[in-house]
Amino acid sequence: MNQGEALMQFKQVQEASYLTAEKAWSYRAILRYFYIQHERMREFLFPEEIYEHVKSLPGFEDYTQEQLHQDLDQLVRWNNLHAIQETGKARTIEEFKKKRFRYQCTPYTVEFERMLVEMEADGETFGGSLEKKEFERLYQTLYELEKLLKRSSLPERDECAQIWNDLFTYFRSIKQNTSDYIAHINSEEAEERMQTEAFLVFKDQFISYLRDFIIELQQTASKIQQVLQSIDQASLQSFVKQVIIHRKQVPRFEDLAKDDEDLLQMELGKWESLKVWFLGNQHGESELEMLEIRTNEQIRRITRIVQRLGERHQYFRNRKKDYLHLAEWFSTFSDIKEAHKLSAVVFGVFHTKHIFSDHVPTENIYTSVWEEKPIHYETSPRTRNYREKTRPSAIVSQKAEKERTILEHLQRAKQEQTTLENYMKANEIHVEQLPIVEPYVRKILLNWIGKAMNRKDKTFQTEFGHVVKMKIDPSERIVLRATDGELDMPKVVFQFTEQ
């Protein structure tokens, strides 16, 4: 399709001009009568009949025949009507000169009026429904199609066309009804009605309706998906060609200019839309999954709304009867102590003191108070000058402990130094040549590697006073064995240069 053809596809629709014109009130009255007569299979109307009908409508008492002819001429220019001169019944030359016309409405006009009639019937609300049986009908048609494609020869062309038409009639109905109903329950009007108390009576039926649809959808959708995946594309093309041949047997002038290949691709495109709706594609999930998700969301949403309404209803509930019942109960007591007991149960204990504590005896939230052990909590006065009493204590000397700790540290360091010097050969330590070492030796070596990696020249000073240069070869792997396990690491050599 070139640019010119693309622009022509989205040209201005002058047939819709009558809906917004200044005299829309008269144009719409005329064309609505044409649509009603078209539905009754009366295609051609004369001006006299049209004028008689329009004059009978309220508000058209002053409408004249001259105005009617002007309106009819304008509707012909907008291509809403076709004017055909009537010459067969002219009785005089004067009648022939007046060019007596009869009129027929165009397909655009019929579709506009049909749409307007449906919209007027539905009002300003979305229609639609979640018909669970439509999925079963679609599956049965697909199953029948699959059986026909597996035959050695295709059935008659009229049978092929009937199955193909039924298939997309059900599919079109599913798409339109589900999308309209989801839009309906998401509309502002539905939201307002759900917030009213009257919705509580309706909510069980609403949730049951959605839940039944989900169950039927889950049971049937998987079978539809299996059939769609099993149908062979080559066999389907042969089937669609039979459908096209049957359709071309119906003489329609607008189909003469269409090529068979264009008609085939158009029908296969409809089939691809059906598959994408149920199976999805590389661009995203299927509309079937989205429908299931949205329906489940609506069930959760309605449940939350009902819960909030119930809480609000409980909060504002009139307690008058409860208080009258309590008052009668209190009046039956002759002893004030019995009245105090009832008051403590109903209203709680008066003048209680609350003590707060951060003590948590158990993390089990289901533990009863009577099962917990008592705790002692010391309170302090809330005065500004209060200070806790303290007793002076002697300073204990820790000199012996310090000396013992220092001695242990020095002995441990000396032992570590001696061990490392034993591993040294020609002022070098080759990690891969070490025997099984103690864990503290591995820790020292890893600490040295960390120090070296932080220096550009890989040179560092140990805790024993040695200056060490590390050479590392990442391409070769070695294993450092210790008493508590093995460590896989790159090849490392430590060179001791000076002390």
Encoded amino acid at 116, one letter:
L
Tell me how far apart the alpha carbons of residues 208 and 185 are, in angstroms, rounded to a whole number.
15
Can you tell me the mean pLDDT for 353-381? Answer: 72
Of 368, 384, 193, 210, nearest to 293 (Cα)?
Answer: 210
pTM here? 0.44
Tell me how far apart the alpha carbons of residues 260 and 163 are, in angstroms, rounded to a whole number.
20
Which residues fall within 8 angstroms of residue 109, CB to CB, at 6 or more apart?
Answer: 15, 31, 34, 35, 80, 81
The overall average pLDDT reported for the chain is: 78
Which residues fall within 8 angstroms of residue 393, CB to CB, at 6 or more apart?
Answer: none
**What pLDDT does 498 receive?**
62
Name the pLDDT band for 470 (thresholds 50, 70, 90).
confident
Q: Give yes or no for residue 216 having a pLDDT over 80.
A: no
Can you tell me the mean pLDDT for 61-89? Answer: 85
The answer to whether the beta carbons of residues 238 and 150 sit under 8 Å apart is no
- Residues of the chain with pLDDT > 90: what percent? 2
Of 121, 43, 122, nearest to 82 (Cα)?
Answer: 43
Can you tell me the mean pLDDT for 120-130? Answer: 56
- Report how far apart, in Å, the C-alpha atoms of 199 and of each of 15, 126, 184, 205, 252 are: 44, 19, 16, 10, 52
Name the pLDDT band for 124 (thresholds 50, 70, 90).
very low
Q: Give yes or no for residue 479 having a pLDDT over 60.
A: yes
**What pLDDT does 198 receive?**
59
Q: Give yes or no for residue 257 having a pLDDT over 60.
A: no
Tell me how far apart the alpha carbons of residues 365 and 305 are, in angstroms, rounded to a whole number.
29
Tell me how far apart the alpha carbons of residues 419 and 416 are, in angstroms, rounded to a whole number.
5
**What pLDDT does 8 receive?**
57
- Burial of residue 108 (CB within 10 Å: 0-12, 13-18, 19+) is middle
In the DSSP assignment, the letter for residue 284 is: B
**What pLDDT does 234 receive?**
81
**Greatest CA separation for the chain:** 144
Q: Give yes or no for residue 214 having a pLDDT over 50.
A: yes
Q: Give yes or no for residue 432 having a pLDDT over 70.
A: yes
**What pLDDT does 156 receive?**
79
- pLDDT, one tens digit per residue, over 160-209 is 888 888 888 888 888 777 777 777 666 666 666 666 665 666 666 767 77
